[in-house]
Structures are given as structure tokens and as C-alpha cells.
Amino acid sequence: MSKVIPSMDSATQDIVADNISQLKQLFPEAFTEGKVDFDTLREVLGEHVEDREERYSFTWNGKNQARRLAQTPSTGTLRPCEEESVDWDSTGNLFIEGDNLEVLKLLQKSYHKKVKMIYIDPPYNTGNDFVYEDDFSDNIKNYKEITGQVGEGGRPYSDNPETSGRYHTNWLNMMYPRLKLARNLLKEDGVIFISIDDNEVANLRKICDEIFGEENFINLVSVKSKDSSGASGGGEDKRLKKNIEYLICYSGGELFKKFNQVYKKENLEKYISDRKLEGKTFAYTKVMVKNGTESFLKTIKDGSNNDIDVFTVKDFELKSVSQLSKEENIDINKIYEKYFDQILTTENAQTSIRERVKNAAPNYDGLINIYYKPISGKNKGKRTKVSFIGKTKRLISYLSGVCEKSSEGIIKKDKIGTLWNDLSWSSVALEGSVPYPNGKKPIKFIERLIELCFKGGEKGIVLDFFLDQEAPHMPVFQKI
């Protein structure tokens, strides 16, 4: 990990000068005596210039000042605290204490486009949250006042009540420059994750669209953080009880292709038992005890005019798991373990391949195997076997496609989507031996973010710039 962390350059990057330099490289004709000639720049940009008075935009009081604040060089410096550090000579981690805006400015030069993953859990602006009111003239002095590091003239943490008249404005003015600076640190294939609730999720989407680019929006994930059961209901008045938070995901650029595949996992025996309690059945109940013998029928074409070889199958044999359990006098769960690769279900899948197989053998009501090379998906370009059964050609899906065998038995896997309702929050306050009653995230939640971005053994830099120094997920970052 130590090789991943670059050496720190204490000089502050001049963001405005860098932006002008890049603009000059693109449009040298738009510069006269070192200054931008906006009339010429407009001519060069042509129809891409928006000059109408009425246009789509998202603005608020203080936005221009917040933008300038992100471009202002830092007045601070980073000082090492070797006596307060652990494994000073070998650690690959940096913990920087200070106003996060000033620290982000100081990181611009050494970490420009080097951070693989950013996760932040900023104030949700519930009306009771502390929100920075940045002092544009001296942000270091401002930080010391806010954190009580000065005398009686200093001011403490302050909330941001809806009655202030600047409820959203104060929060946006805090977030905008910090996200602007974070954008410069993120790799082109990197991802930023931001936890938020419904108070500011709409505004956060808008400023992230502006800063990271609407085209780099990936997902808005709903994260279940509370149960709806019980008679009590915090946060209930005229509204329904809140039991979800949100996770906004943006990429650093077009080099980001996709997240790693991550699965929710559950013991199959427990999964089946829970479904029975809910009055539901488990679909995978048939066993292909004999594969039978294939006979070539014909070759047909897929939508890209590639070959699909079609075979009929005779002398195959199917039995149910309950039938085998009785015949072999063993528990059904043992049948699932013994016949793991042979257990299947049939589906009424609507696919173009299935329709082509129907047309190839319209009256055949037995088992059909086809072999072809998919043009997408996990088997892209590989000769792949797919089976259909019956006159309607129901697709056969095997248990091994949705489960895996382990020392703990058979594990049911479900690829995660945009609803995360499988993470336990019941004892989150006790995780990491850290007393932190409100707003704490489960360690499993942070581990999932890392799994989405980092493959096994992959190294990279992770940044959290709204990190409490006692945060329980800090040790998780040490795993990458």
C-alpha cells in the first residue's frame, strides 16, 4: 500500500492557472497578451455558446463565491505528527486533521487524478446538522473558530434550521467547493459515492451533474437503514416513516466501464426455509439425473447471422428433489448438495434465441440443447450450451448459476442492484468499538463499496473527506 500513496508536495496547486493553461492549449487564438479574448472564444465555439437570457440552470445565493473559493489557493500547510502516528515508516495510510476544504486544496498537486474511490457521508441538512459557513478571507481561522480552537471569540458548531431562510443555500455553499476540488482528485476510471437522505438528494444530484458531468452519473441506490415494523415511528408526522437513505454514484470520466459484480449472499437452506414461512416455494426443484444422448437436428442463425447448432436429446431423465429424497432416504438439503450441478428450474424466458429454437422445432416436445457464441455477457465469444424443454421451449436454468458451494454449505447469490436491503444496521452503533450513536454506517456497507471498485488484490487510493477520526470503517480501507 505504501507504494500507492504518492509523496506529498506541500505547495498548493494554482487551479485557475492550470485551467487557463489547458484552455490556451485548446484555443490559442482566444488569447491576447496573456488574457482571454471572450469574443474570439465565442466565435471559435460557434453554436455551442449559450447566449439566451432564459436557460436551464441551477443556482443559489453564493454560488459564484463558492466557485471562487474552490479556486483560491490554500493559506495552510500540512505538518506531520510523528508522535501521534502508528507505523510511521511503513504505513500506507494518511489521516489529515483540519478543515476539509483547505486539506482538499493541499492535496490537489500530489493526488491530481490519482484517487480510485471517494466515499463521503456529509451532513444531511436535517435542520440539526452542523454546516460549515466558510470564511472566504481566512478559512484556517474559520476552522479554528468552528472547532473551538480559539478563545472566547470562537464560535461553536451551529445547526442549519429551516427557519434560517438559507436552509438549502448554506448547505450548497458548503458542498459545492468541496465537491469541485474532489473532482480534480478522482481518476478517470474512479468513482465517488455520496450518502445522503431526502432533504438534499435532489440538490445534490444537480450540483453533481454540474461538477462531475451528467453523463458520468451511474446510479442512485436506495439503502434500507431502518425497519418499518413496530408501533413507534421516529420522523413521522404527516409523512410516512423514513426507512431508507440514498447513495449517489458518479464516475470520474469515460474510462469507467462498469462496477465489479457483487452479490448478496445467503445460506440456501435458510433461504428456502424463509420462503416456506412466507408461503412461497423455491423454483429449483428438478434434477437432471441422466443427461441423455444428443442428435444433431440443424444449424440456424442468431440475430447477427452467427451459427446456432441445435440438438435433440433422447433418454434423458428428470426427477424432483423430493422424489430423490424419498428414494435415497436422505434430507432434501443433502440432495441439493449431492446433485448441486444437476438441479434446475424452467423459465418462460422471452429471448430471441428461444423464439428461433421454437421455429426450428415447432412440434418437438422433448429436450433440446443448443450451442452458440453469445455476443455479450459473461460468456461473450465462448461456445455456450443452453437447454430448452417441452413444446413451448421453456428455458432450463441450473442452480449452479445462482448459487455456489462453500465450506458453509450452498450459498444463494443475488447480484446487487439499486436496492440494498440486506445490510444489518441493528448493532451498527457497537461496530468498531466506537461509540457513535447517530449517522454511523455498517462496516459491511463500506466493504461493499470497495468490492464494487476494487478487484481482489488490486491496489488503489481511497479518500473520505468527511471522516470522523473515530470512524469504524477506517480499518476497512487498510485491506486494499
Q: Give the pLDDT score at 251.
A: 97
Which one of 363, 385, 415 terminates a domain? 415
CATH number of the domain within which 19 lies = 3.40.50.150
Dihedral sign, CA of 84, 87, 90, 95?
negative
Query: Whole-angstrom Cα distance, residue 228 to residue 29?
Result: 62
Q: Which domain holds residue 376?
A: 265-415
Residue 46 backbone phi and psi in degrees, to 5 = 60, -125
Long-range contacts of range 411-416, CB-CB < 8 Å, 24 or more positions apart?
Answer: 411/265, 411/266, 411/267, 411/268, 412/265, 412/266, 412/267, 412/268, 412/271, 413/263, 413/264, 413/265, 414/263, 414/264, 415/261, 415/262, 415/263, 415/264, 416/262, 416/263, 416/264, 416/448
pLDDT tens digits along 29-58: 777 777 787 777 776 676 666 666 667 788
Cell representation of residue 78: 500540512
Q: Are residues 453 and 441 in the same domain?
A: yes
- Residue 255 domain-assigned? yes
Q: Are residues 254 and 272 in the same domain?
A: no
- Residue 155 domain-assigned? yes
Q: Give the pLDDT score at 198.
A: 92
91: amino acid identity, one letter: T
CB 44 within 8 A of CB 30: yes
Which uninterrupted H or E stretch holds 45? helix 38-45
Q: Are residues 137 and 33 in the same domain?
A: yes
Which one of 415, 431, 457 terminates a domain? 415
Q: Are residues 299 and 250 in the same domain?
A: no
Q: Are residues 333 and 269 in the same domain?
A: yes
Q: Are residues 297 and 357 in the same domain?
A: yes
Query: Whole-angstrom Cα distance, residue 9 to residue 11?
Result: 6
Which one of 377, 394, 415 terminates a domain? 415
Q: Are residues 110 and 226 in the same domain?
A: yes
- Residue 1 domain-assigned? no
Q: Are residues 185 and 72 in the same domain?
A: yes
- Residue 6 domain-assigned? no
Q: Are residues 333 and 310 in the same domain?
A: yes
Query: What pTM was computed for the model?
Result: 0.77
Query: Whole-angstrom Cα distance, residue 198 to residue 205?
Result: 11
Give the residues of the chain that fall short of pLDDT 70.
1-13, 43-44, 46-54, 127-166, 228-237, 432-439, 468-480
Q: Give the pLDDT score at 224.
A: 93
248: amino acid identity, one letter: I
Q: Give the pLDDT score at 332.
A: 93
Give how far Cα 325 sits from Cα of 334, 339, 342, 402, Å. 8, 11, 15, 22
- Residue 286 domain-assigned? yes
Pairing assessment for the beta strands 343-347 and 394-398 based on DSSP bridges: antiparallel
- Residue 469 domain-assigned? yes
Q: Are residues 179 and 37 in the same domain?
A: yes
Q: Are residues 157 and 70 in the same domain?
A: yes
Query: Whole-angstrom Cα distance, residue 63 to residue 166?
Result: 13
Q: Are residues 383 and 430 in the same domain?
A: no
DSSP string, 15-35: HHHHHHHHHHHH-GGGEETTE
Quick one: DSSP state of residue 393?
Answer: T
Total tally of structural domains belonging to the chain: 2
- Residue 448 domain-assigned? yes
- Residue 8 domain-assigned? no
Using a 10 angstrom Cβ sphere, with 0-12 exposed, 13-18 middle and 19 or more buried, the burial of residue 172 is buried
